[in-house]
């Protein structure tokens, strides 16, 4: 966005005699502190909805927080209304008795371009994974290593059964190809299903089944790899350029960092929006479940999940938002163990390349981030693709334990203590072709959308979408007001 547009907008704002709305502390006392796990300054939240603001943001996931960050940078007052009692949306962690449980297996790729602009990596205290994976196949583990970062491992893995030597050369060529493409070309270029793309490149069935399906299936929560090749290219490029990492404070440290920089009184938790009115003569209004109404001068940014946007925007979007099915789901199980029952020390991801069983991937979280468990304990994270909603919790735990006994031995796995399970029904929207990963955030004058379904279902996609919604709002307001 051009700097001049921003100044122009602020100037118009002051001309319109609205200086009272420019950033300032909330006049209301704090009555509903944030949970301890979310280290956002309590001053950030407003206990009561303001009657009027500059922009109303609905939803406090990464996209809503990114939108708020950009509005703040442009000195545009806003209020962010979040339905739950937590910020971060799907990027959340629970901290219990010294353990950190991310709500589902999530990894931050340091090369995400938008994240690099918005986040302070030093303060996230990122801990890296090994660049590669150990694939369980035919009763044993086989290493797949990034040849640039772990050259000796890559050489010694050339002749393992996870693909042929030719497959491993192809990985290098596919990487080179992705690196030569700009993100825009990747996200708007030709697309097919990822599985068809991989076969078209010439990867063998063994490589697709034993490595790509568990690895990228775990990224997209889509074991069949029907997700668009655009997203494969984008993630593959980011993996080539950066590291897989986790913050020392849990994945929730990412939204916490964004929220912690927002101005006083700008966030309202437990504030579910049930109606949006952008047609009234007196600015734009949203109605909360509680009945209260928040009006905004410049517009409304809807930063909720796709299915929720479809409900909230019904009547505002011609033809409505069509939610593509199936949406992507996952189950994440956590176990803890004494450190002598953690069979490896490497910060590596384990993949199920056997073609059997229900486990897709797992890792010893405390091998990557020591702070994920109290001293003397290890934390184990196991992920399944799909929701398994017809399987009882106890039965699912038993099936996973039995399966992992085949990986690490009965003595080790039976010593693990089951901690908890997260069944995430809506982890990501369906991103099968045809996709539009650069949707127009403008719904109508004063109404904008952001969220991973508007761009792509990664942390980065959500952050980009928040910025683009603010850019669209500012562009339109400057045009209208001048
Ligand atoms: C288990 C899991 C693993 C993942 N792994 C990765 C990964 O490894 N790497 C990666 O890049 N991405 C990953 N993702 C995807 C990534 O987390 C999401 O794409 C991104 O966080 C979506 O952000 P968002 O702001 O679009 O939506 P959300 O995070 O869903 O935020 C929407 C917010 O809107 C609020 N809301 C909804 N309705 C209302 C309403 N009516 N009024 C007010 N508020 C409302 C919700 O409570 C929520 O806080 C993962 C996702 C999950 C669930």
* Two structure tokens written together for 254: 């990412």
Q: Ligand 1 center to residue 409 CA distance, Å?
A: 36
On whether residue 433 sits in a domain, the answer given is no
On whether residue 453 sits in a domain, the answer given is yes
* Two structure tokens written together for 298: 């410049």
- 390-398 CB contacts, 8 Å cutoff, 24+ apart: 393/421, 396/331, 396/333, 396/421, 397/333, 397/421
Q: What are phi and psi of 378, to 5 degrees?
A: -115, 150
306 lines ligand 1 (CB under 6 A): no
Q: Sign of the C-alpha dihedral, residues 331, 337, 343, 345?
A: positive
| Residues 257, 382 within the same domain | no
Given a contact cutoff of 8 angstroms between Cβ atoms, the answer to whether 58 and 64 are in contact is yes
5 lines ligand 1 (CB under 6 A): no
| Residues 336, 420 within the same domain | yes
| Residues 337, 310 within the same domain | no
Strands across the sheet containing 108-109: 108-109, 244-247, 126-128
Domain span holding position 396: 93-127+328-428
Contacts of 52 (CB under 8 A, 6+ apart): 21, 283, 294, 295, 296, 297
Distance of alpha carbon 85 from alpha carbon 390, whole angstroms: 29
On whether residue 375 sits in a domain, the answer given is yes
| Residues 313, 453 within the same domain | yes
| Residues 312, 262 within the same domain | yes
Q: Ligand 1 center to residue 104 CA distance, Å?
A: 12
Domain harbouring 60, CATH code: 3.50.50.60
- pLDDT by residue, tens only, the chain of 482 residues: 333 343 333 333 333 333 222 222 332 222 222 333 344 455 566 666 777 899 999 999 999 999 999 999 999 999 999 999 999 999 999 999 999 999 999 999 999 999 999 999 999 999 999 999 999 999 999 999 998 899 899 998 888 999 999 999 999 999 999 999 999 999 999 999 999 999 999 999 999 999 999 999 999 999 999 999 999 999 999 999 999 999 999 999 999 999 999 998 999 999 999 999 987 777 899 999 999 999 999 999 999 999 999 999 987 776 678 889 999 999 999 999 999 999 999 999 999 999 999 999 999 999 999 999 999 999 999 999 999 999 999 999 999 999 999 999 999 999 999 999 999 999 999 999 999 999 999 999 999 999 999 999 999 999 999 999 999 999 998 776 66
On whether residue 283 sits in a domain, the answer given is yes
- Which of 81, 129, 304, 360 has most ligand 1 atoms within 8 Å of CB, for mutation? 304
| Residues 301, 346 within the same domain | no
67 lines ligand 1 (CB under 6 A): no
On whether residue 32 sits in a domain, the answer given is yes
Q: Ligand 1 center to residue 88 CA distance, Å?
A: 7
- Which of 34, 45, 58, 59 has most ligand 1 atoms within 8 Å of CB, for mutation? 59
Domain harbouring 355, CATH code: 3.90.660.20
90 lines ligand 1 (CB under 6 A): yes
User: What is the number of domains present in the chain?
Assistant: 3
459 lines ligand 1 (CB under 6 A): yes
On whether residue 133 sits in a domain, the answer given is no
Q: Ligand 1 center to residue 344 CA distance, Å?
A: 32
On whether residue 182 sits in a domain, the answer given is yes
Q: From the alpha carbon of 460, which atom of ligand 1 is closest?
A: 11
| Residues 223, 256 within the same domain | no
Domain boundary among 192, 221, 242: 242
- Render the burial of 77-98: b for 16+ CB within 10 Å, e for the rest: bbbbbbbeebbbbbbbbbbeee
Which residue, among 8, 459, 2, 421, has the nearest Cα to 244 in the 3D structure? 459
* Two structure tokens written together for 384: 């399944």
Distance of alpha carbon 49 from alpha carbon 51, whole angstroms: 6
| Residues 423, 347 within the same domain | yes
Domain boundary among 242, 266, 284: 242
* Two structure tokens written together for 225: 């790899």
256 lines ligand 1 (CB under 6 A): no
On whether residue 277 sits in a domain, the answer given is yes
Distance of alpha carbon 233 from alpha carbon 170, whole angstroms: 14
| Residues 260, 303 within the same domain | yes
Which residue's CA is the closest to the ligand 1 atom numbered 26?
451
328 lines ligand 1 (CB under 6 A): no
**Residue labelled with tokens 């590291």:** 243
Instruction: Put residue 289 in one of left, alpha, beta given phi > 0 → left and psi -120 to 50 → alpha.
Output: alpha
Q: What is the pTM of this model?
A: 0.91
Q: From the alpha carbon of 454, which atom of ligand 1 is closest?
A: 26
- Which of 63, 81, 106, 243 has most ligand 1 atoms within 8 Å of CB, for mutation? 106
- 24-27 CB contacts, 8 Å cutoff, 24+ apart: 24/264, 24/265, 25/264, 25/265, 26/50, 26/264, 26/265, 26/266, 27/265
């Amino acid at each position: 966005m051009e700097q001049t547009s921003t100044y122009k907008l602020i100037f118009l704002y002051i001309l319109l005699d609205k200086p009272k709305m420019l950033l300032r502390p909330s006049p209301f006392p704090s009555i509903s502190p944030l949970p301890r796990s979310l280290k956002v300054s309590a001053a950030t939240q407003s206990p009561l909805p303001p009657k009027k603001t500059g922009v109303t943001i609905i939803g406090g996931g990464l996209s809503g927080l990114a939108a708020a960050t950009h509005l703040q940078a442009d000195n545009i007052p806003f209020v962010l209304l979040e339905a739950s009692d937590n910020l971060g949306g799907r990027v959340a962690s629970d901290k219990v008795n010294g353990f950190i449980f991310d709500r589902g297996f999530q990894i931050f790729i340091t090369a995400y371009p938008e994240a690099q602009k918005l986040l302070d990596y030093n303060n996230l205290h990122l801990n890296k994974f090994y660049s590669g994976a150990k694939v369980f196949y035919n009763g044993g583990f086989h290493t797949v290593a990034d040849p640039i970062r772990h050259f000796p491992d890559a050489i010694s893995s050339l002749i393992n059964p996870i693909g042929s030597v030719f497959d491993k050369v192809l990985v290098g060529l596919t990487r080179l190809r992705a690196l030569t493409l700009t993100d825009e070309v990747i996200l708007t270029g030709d697309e097919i299903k990822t599985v068809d793309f991989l076969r078209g490149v010439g990867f063998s069935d063994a490589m697709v089944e034993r490595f790509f399906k568990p690895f990228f299936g775990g990224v997209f929560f889509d074991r069949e790899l029907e997700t668009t090749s655009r997203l494969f290219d984008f993630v593959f490029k980011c993996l080539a350029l950066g590291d897989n990492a986790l913050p020392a404070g849990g994945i929730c440290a990412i939204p916490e960092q964004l929220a912690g920089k927002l101005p006083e009184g700008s966030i309202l938790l437990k504030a579910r929006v049930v109606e949006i009115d952008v047609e009234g003569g007196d600015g734009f209004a949203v109605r909360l479940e509680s009945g209260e109404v928040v009006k905004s001068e410049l517009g409304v940014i809807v930063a909720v999940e796709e299915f929720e946007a479809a409900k909230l925007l019904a009547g505002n979007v011609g033809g409505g938002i069509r939610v593509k099915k199936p949406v992507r789901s996952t189950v994440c199980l956590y176990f803890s163990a004494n450190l002598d029952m953690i069979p490896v020390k490497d910060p590596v991801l384990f993949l199920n390349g056997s073609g059997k069983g229900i486990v897709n991937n797992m890792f010893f979280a405390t091998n990557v981030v020591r702070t994920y468990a109290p001293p003397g304990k290890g934390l184990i994270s196991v992920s399944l693709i799909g929701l398994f909603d017809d399987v009882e919790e106890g039965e699912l735990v038993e099936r996973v334990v039995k399966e992992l006994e085949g990986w690490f031995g009965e003595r080790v796995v039976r010593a693990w203590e089951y901690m908890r399970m997260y069944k995430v029904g809506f982890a990501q929207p369906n991103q099968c072709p045809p996709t539009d990963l650069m949707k127009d955030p403008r719904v109508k004058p004063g109404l904008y959308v952001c969220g991973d379904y508007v761009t792509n279902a990664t942390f980065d996609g959500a952050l980009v979408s928040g910025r683009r919604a603010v850019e669209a709002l500012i562009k339109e307001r400057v045009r209208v007001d001048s």
